[in-house]
Structure 1
Amino acid sequence: MLYYLFNYLDQLDIPGAGMFKYISFRSGMALILSLFISTLIGRRIIDKLQKLQIGETVRNLGLEGQMSKKGTPTMGGIIIIIAILVPVLLFGRLGNIYLILMLVTTIWLGALGFADDYIKVFRKNKEGMHGKFKIIGQLGLGLIVGLTLFLSPEVVIIENSEIRHNDVIEAVRYHEVETKSTKTTIPFVKNNNFDYAQLVSWAGEYKEELAWLVFVLMTIFVVTSVSNGANLTDGLDGLAAGTSSIIGVALGVLAYMSSHFQFASFLNIMFIPGAEELVVFAAAFIGATVGFLWYNAYPAQVFMGDTGSLTLGGIIAVFAIIIRKELLIPILCGIFLAENLSVMMQVAYFKYTKKKYGTGKRMFKMAPLHHHFQKPGNAGLDALVQKPFNVVPESKIVVRFWLIGIILAVLTIVTLKMR
């Protein structure tokens, strides 16, 4: 909202009003304000949650320090959501279609996660919302995002092509016309653009429509898988918030590069007009998650609950899809992927061994993966993977996962030049 106010003041030649035209200024202000909200106002929200006795219900799974978390306020994801929405509404250009999609994503999944937490806390149902309703909510958001990107005339890219001489890139030429396209960025290949239309090249005159159908289905899959991955990662103090903030930095960098003509040309990636507003959102996202760590870092004074974890995962997924970097998610969100895979492998191995031997066995001492390191090896658990034999302190597990997340984030950005 302030963008439009100061744009008007700038037309009246008011000194300093022109600062709001710069993405760097508005992003910096969004970062500062989100940090302020999540740290200072967050304390009041935590106190309110405590008064309402909205505490975490903990099952005794034999993990070190687990029972001490009982009663810790949950649903703290409200802090993150408020700390994102307020700065974006103030400093973002609200007519931007990409920013609108990110706001819808934040509110949609925030409401879905809140409903899940409400059932757990107030209705004393440990399972929370039935899984099928969660999936329906995630599928619905994926469908909205995918169809909007397909139907909106504002969603365009300017395609690029390399000019080579003796296998050396001499220049990158951009087409003058903005086009609707189902192209996306793919890592580790020479021409790092992949068009979903290639998957339906057999469709003839219906090729373009089917390509968008594939794109919409891909959007639904990415939103569902990444939001669930973030939800599974939220099991240790500061793990989901810290990992998400690292991913947010990488996404902000990628959005800025994709929206900057010179940087896009240098990296030979598609130029996406209007994507610069996503940098403002990324700054608010980073500030909100880092500020939340003030209270969520070990030992946590508040948990984000599904209100926060589903929202963080959905934001990351939709953001990556908008800037056409969804195929980089397996690298960038490697922590989420490992957590998802560990659960699927655990379940599959248990069913396989039960069918073959009559008794189900585990692959890990416990899943998701971060809990595996909290169990001692050879402690009576019939698990295929027993190492490490000694229990790893929770704070050390979290910091090591953060370090891995930083490496993956850097690698994701570097892949744009690794072909």
Structure 2
Amino acid sequence: MRACPCCREVLTAGILGLGVRRLAGSCEVCGDTVCQVCLGTQVLAAGDFRQRPVVPGQAHRKARGRVCRACWWEHLTERGIKPPFPAPPGQRERAARAERATCQHPGVTQAMGFCPGCGDEVEWKAEHGNPVCVACEAPSHPRFNHCWACGESFDEANTPEPQALGYRLEFDCDAEDCTGKLAWLMPYCPWCGEAKHWDPASGGHLECTECERRLDRAWAHCVRCGEEAPLPDDCPRCGQDLEDAPSATRCESCRNIVCGDCFDTRVVPSDSGERQERLLCATCGVGFEVPTPPSAEPEDEDDDAGDEDVRADDDAEEGAESDEGDENDSNADADEPPDVEPEPEPEPRAEAPRAPEPAPVASAWEVLGITPGAPLAEARRAYLALVAQYHPDKVAQLGPKLQALAQEETRRIIEAWEYVRRRTS
């Protein structure tokens, strides 16, 4: 069934005109045709409307046009303004595609078919003039008897050698009649063709739900099929059951998922010398200082600055009306007798100590993108998926302001999950 590319909700005809969700028009920023709920009118710079022609020299002039919620969310975050609504699912999918396009696959080794970080398929390349397997097109070696990727036999009976150009053969084959060596994570021995089952470096008992291969705790995706890795049972730092933990996240250094008591934000110098805030576990965060909490005043100034141009005329009119009102009040005060005292107002003073009303219950569920009353298991899955989407390493290549915004969004998601967990359990 067709769905809106922004909110990912299924398009429906409704009953008697109620509950209708239909495509209303195209966003003039990204060009996607979205539903009437996601399409709105916003004031942006003329150059931001990439789907309309721009007059030379007028790119920075303010213009009004149709913008989808995903593009409006990105517009606000790029300027350091916190959006008043969570990122639409379409924007998250767009960010995931962008991450796969920009990921440099730093954790990929020779025998991995998929990146353990982003899950993108890694293209195997034959080096040093080595041949490739006809069955799976994986790179091979002239002296190999079997394909190390699929186990296909080459009908060769070469004597195992300790070295092969282009491969790091560091591990002994555990087959009884084989004396050959193989590289890390090779699923098959290139000499005898026997299947291998590697124990993960970080321990644990994680298995891929698709291919049932053992996974390292630091992997977010299976390196053999690209399927998203399941969540571990316990925290590797304190041993707490992650099902009972109020929150959890993935360390940006060791890539392990730890509980909320074992991670914190630390200031880490980057390769360029700039200081960046990163989420680190209790082990990786040793030696790094805690960032200074930001003040709330600059955020208020940024929020007000985005609306000054649109509300300038309204503020001027309100200011003129208030001045006239003040003059009338002053004249009225002058005519009143001096012995007249204002009436006491005990009620407002009695109501002042009241505690502020709590935030709406639905807001926490809206942050997680689920309906109020959803099962705790569904809320937990949504929470972990959002933490992965908003993790600060998603914007590591961007500026410090966007990285700080990603960190703030992660904290917002964690607070929402803790609130939902307390209300549901």
After TM superposition, the score normalised by the length of structure 2 is 0.21
Higher helix share: 1
Structure with higher Rg: it is 2
Higher strand share: 2
After TM superposition, the score normalised by the length of structure 1 is 0.21
